[in-house]
A and B are shown apart, each in its own frame.
Chain A
Amino acid sequence: MASHILRRLLATVPVVVIVAVLVFLLLRLTPGDPAAVIAGDHASAADIERIRASLGLDRPLLEQFFIWAGTLLQGDLGRSIISNMPISSLIAQRIEPTLSLAASTMLVSLLVSLPLGIAAAWGSRTWVDRFTMVLAILGFSLPVFLVAYTLIYFFSMKLGWFPVQGYRPLAQGVLPWLQGLALPTLSLSFTYIALLARTTRASMLDVLSEDYIRTAQAKGVRTRALLIRHAFSNAAVPVVTIAGIGITLLISGVVITETVFNIPGLGRLTVDAILSRDYPIIQALILLFSGVYVVINLLIDLLYLVLDPRIEY
């Protein structure tokens, strides 16, 4: 068990290293002159040279890599080209809204999708099932900004229940914080609910056709216990796996949702960096988000041991 955890930890190392190398090479090997592109259309030759030097692009490739990897290993993500602020402090300033949004989305998605998926599998071919499948296909088809603007139109502009835009920090009180988060969370949850409800339904359908479920039913186990303890605890592994892989979906959604709702989080930082062509920030955010993905999927892998005692390594 301990050796498995260690081995699993070591297995993440090549992934992280390859991501870092990819991100590094992206800037160096792209066709054209990235320094000129980053500098923009009205830059002078001196500006382009300054950016080239600040990105270290004027040195040999291998030397660049070791300098970059060295500073990265010390936890230094570099500095913004535009404001010259350390990127780690820019990220620290913006992390609260993004974390709040991601956590509330995760919570809402799980609370809605798990019961929905279980009910759909239990009432297969009934209206619950049809509703869930329609919701699932809509969730995959409706773009996050259409959902977001529709919600703003009805709940903020017509009914006035929620602010149109903006984010209130948790320090200003729980209620305003929740009010600001409600619509972004709903918009962002939609796809995730679709994904998780569909996976839960499929996984539950597989389990419900097992013999031991019929045995449990024949013994007179109550429906609730049957569905949750007997069936769902065995159907949870694929759901958790998909939830982990879906993290990238969530991260992409965060970038767009924060833009629609004008939330000063990491997604907004990304978009500002695109508009000012501040490549070091984009690079740091890719590394950060990929790191989050790797860590979450590592935790999920370890969670399998808890969810399914039959899995032995």
Chain B
Amino acid sequence: MSATTNLAAIAPMRRTWMPRFLRGRPALVGGAALLIVLVAIAIASPWLTGNPQAISPLNRLRPPSADLWFGADQLGRDIYARTLQGARVSLLVGVCVALLSAAIGLLVGVLCGFYRRLDAVVMRLMDALMAIPSILLAIALTTLVRGGVLLVIVAITVPEIPRVVRLVRSVVLTLRGQPYVIAAIAAGTRQPLIMLRHIVPNAVSPLIVQATYVCASAILTEAGLSFIGAGVPPEVPSWGNIIASARSYFQIAPWAIFFPGVGLALTVLAVNLLGDGLRDSLDPRASRRL
């Protein structure tokens, strides 16, 4: 039994290239396909639906029907239009936070892995940032500064950075001991070149996987922030603030919460599936660990 567990636990380490990359990976294919559909809907949503902010008192709290597919909220706003257009903010925030935190995390992480003195200072700062619950840090920022989506992106990025920095730093520290890096140092290669040519390419795979998870968590954080009123302003429909504005009417009009909620769950699920798939393909060691 233990032997079979053992075999099952250790995924065979095989080289992956494009056709194989996708074959036998339902999570990767499913996640990517779902995400492509969702992104397409988000981009096309202004042409697929009417005005998400249009108030029509006649439709107040109308349940889903043939002409109002997802029903209407307490102001008679079309939940179908709001849900579809809400996808734009979520995906925008998710992608921007992932890119920003990956870029900053890569830069800081590589530098920390190379310069011990900088490392000592930066890692204390990262420890402190890790100790602050991400949603609270974002709340503090959005309470103090007036701003729209851009501010929300920055506020969610800041608490995500430490995780990325730690990951990159640990990769760099492992790589620094590798014979080929030592050889490069011995050959007198300049440090920036070592970082760019020998370290960064090897840190890219785990970074991509981590960025996908950051994207998923950023989408959830944005929804949470907008839900408690510290996120995207109500003029811009986002899944979080659609749910927030329908909250008091939940018992009469549950559809106004259900549809944006399912949209949010599907998006995060797609990104997470993509992340798991990428992890299994790009980083077999990590897939064994989790």
Contact surface of A with B, Cβ cutoff 8 Å: 14-15, 18-19, 22-23, 26-27, 30-32, 34, 37-38, 121-122, 124-125, 137-138, 140-146, 149, 152-153, 157, 164, 198-199, 202, 205-206, 208-209, 213-214, 217, 245, 248, 251-252, 255-256, 259-260, 270-271, 273-275, 277, 279, 282-283, 285-286, 289-290, 293-294
Contact = CB atoms under 8 A, between A and B. Distances in A.
Interface string B110-139: 000000000000001101111111111101
Given A14-B124, A23-B140, A30-B141, A271 B228 contact: yes
A198 B290 contact: yes
Contacts of A31: 145
A256 B228 contact: yes
Interface string B242-281: 0100010011001001100110110011001100100000
Nearest to B223: A143
Contact of B230 (A202, A208, A274): A274
B178 interface: no
B8 interface: yes
Interface of B: 1-6, 8-10, 124-125, 127-137, 139-146, 216, 220-221, 223-224, 227-230, 243, 247, 250-251, 254, 257-258, 261-262, 264-265, 268-269, 272-273, 276, 288-290
Contacts of A137: 269, 272-273, 276
Contact of B128 (A19, A27, A141): A19
Contacts of A294: 131
Q: Is chain A's binding surface mostly helix, strand, loop or mixed?
A: helix
A164 B252 CA distance: 13
A282 B139 contact: yes
Contacts of B6: 208-209
Contacts of A157: 251
Contacts of A217: 1-2
A251 B261 contact: no
Contact of A125 (B8, B131, B134, B261): B8
Nearest to A238: B289
A283 B254 contact: no
A34 B265 contact: no
Nearest to B228: A271
Given A209-B6, A256-B227, A202 B133 contact: no
A289 B133 contact: yes
B128 A22 contact: yes
A22 B128 CA distance: 9
Q: Which of A30, A137, A245 has the most CB of B within 10 A?
A: A137
- The CB with the most chain B CB atoms within 10 A, among A23, A141, A282, is that of A141
Given A32-B146, A259-B228, A294-B131, 14 more contacts: A18-B128, A37-B145, A141-B265, A143-B268, A146-B257, A208-B5, A214-B3, A251-B133, A252-B136, A270-B139, A274-B139, A282-B136, A286-B132, A289-B136
A141 B269 contact: yes
Contact of A37 (B10, B133, B146, B220): B146
Contacts of A152: 250
8 contacts: A18-B124, A18-B128, A22-B129, A141-B272, A214-B2, A251-B135, A252-B221, A283-B140
